[in-house]
Amino acid sequence: AQKITQTQPGMFVQEKEAVTLDCTYDTSDPSYGLFWYKQPSSGEMIFLIYQGSYDQQNATEGRYSLNFQKARKSANLVISASQLGDSAMYFCAMREGAPNTGNQFYFGTGTSLTVIP
Amino acid sequence: DAGVTQSPTHLIKTRGQQVTLRCSPKSGHDTVSWYQQALGQGPQFIFQYYEEEERQRGNFPDRFSGHQFPNYSSELNVNALLLGDSALYLCASSFDEQETQYFGPGTRLLVL
């Protein structure tokens, strides 16, 4: 089974509108972390937001928020007030494992977001 | 505060050759992970180094090896290159395995 599933290969959003990028994950480990990264065409992965498995509240970072639904194993990214510069690939990732056990990251296949003027 | 740096930015090799990619972590970070990202795919975890030892490894053959130096910088070596090794190789650093990983700009490797 895939550890991270992103079912939206491509998304379009009007400038200044909000958009939700979907992510579901699969783990039986109680300790894990969920991340979203943005990858522009230049290739560098830019960290956006983090949610720990024990965090009670949804994470927010500026215009980014993470809709964490633990029972459904989903960690959707919400971008508010989209800007043209938000056009990029977006990857959901999961760090699995307890401290000092040797963690690794799993990435989804990404969602290409295009912001329309 | 310098971020993660990688060298070279681009590289062209032929099948059967060997390649070494280099990574300097973000200041204060002690853990380095390497990823391979094929065109149109998400990054795939190769391995992670901490305290100069390989701590975790993904599903990659032994042709992929690495090293971490006392200053926390790292190298990724790939032997006997195959056409399928053509990809963007990303290095990420973090303070400890549990913390957020920050990525470098990557090295684009083309194997002909």
Question: pLDDT digit string (tens) for A85-107?
Answer: 999 999 999 998 766 666 778 99
Suggest the residue from A6, A45, A54, A66 to mutate for an interface test with chain B (most B CBs closer than 10 A): A45
The vertex-B91 CA angle with B85 and B95, nearest 5°, equals: 150
Suggest the residue from B30, B34, B45, B47 to mutate for an interface test with chain A (most A CBs closer than 10 A): B45
Contact B94, B74 (CB under 8 A): no
pLDDT for the residue B13: 97
Sort strands B53-57 and B64-68 into parallel, antiparallel or unpaired. unpaired
The answer, for A9 touching chain B at a CB cutoff of 8 Å, is no
In whole angstroms, give the CA distance from residue A94 to residue A107. Answer: 7
Q: Say if the Cβ atoms of B43 and A103 lie within 8 Å.
A: no
Structure letter (DSSP) for residue A24: E
Mean pLDDT of chain A: 93
Q: Say if the Cβ atoms of A44 and B103 lie within 8 Å.
A: yes
**pLDDT tens figures, A46-55:** 999 999 999 9
The answer, for B11 touching chain A at a CB cutoff of 8 Å, is no
In one-letter notation, the amino acid at residue B111 is V
pLDDT level of residue A75 (50, 70, 90 thresholds): very high
Which is it for the CA torsion B44, B39, A34, B101, positive or negative? positive
Question: Would you call A87 helix, strand, or coil by DSSP?
Answer: coil
